[in-house]
Chain A
Amino acid sequence: DTGVSQDPRHKITKRGQNVTFRCDPISEHNRLYWYRQTLGQGPEFLTYFQNEAQLEKSRLLSDRFSAERPKGSFSTLEIQRTEQGDSAMYLCASQGGGNQPQHFGDGTRLSIL
Chain B
Amino acid sequence: AQTVTQSQPEMSVQEAETVTLSCTYDTSESNYYLFWYKQPPSRQMILVIRQEAYKQQNATENRFSVNFQKAAKSFSLKISDSQLGDTAMYFCAFMNTGNEKLTFGTGTRLTIIP
Contact = CB atoms under 8 A, between A and B. Distances in A.
B106 A33 contact: no
B97 interface: yes
B30 interface: no
Given A42-B91, A43-B91, A91-B45, A102 B106 contact: no
A45 B97 contact: no
B24 to A, nearest CB: 14
Contacts of B56: none
Interface stretch (A61-69, A77-85, A104-112): A104-112
B105 A106 contact: no
B101 interface: yes
Interface residues of A, number: 24
Chain B: number of interface residues, binned into ranges: 20 to 34
A48 interface: yes
A99 B33 contact: yes
Interface in B98-113: 100-107
24 contacts: A3-B44, A31-B100, A33-B102, A41-B106, A41-B107, A42-B4, A42-B91, A42-B93, A42-B105, A43-B45, A43-B102, A43-B104, A45-B102, A45-B103, A48-B100, A56-B101, A95-B100, A99-B97, A99-B100, A101-B35, A102-B47, A103-B47, A104-B44, A104-B46
Interface of B: 4, 33, 35, 37, 43-47, 50, 52, 91, 93, 97, 100-107
Interface of A: 3-4, 31, 33, 35, 40-45, 48, 56, 91, 93, 95, 99, 101-107
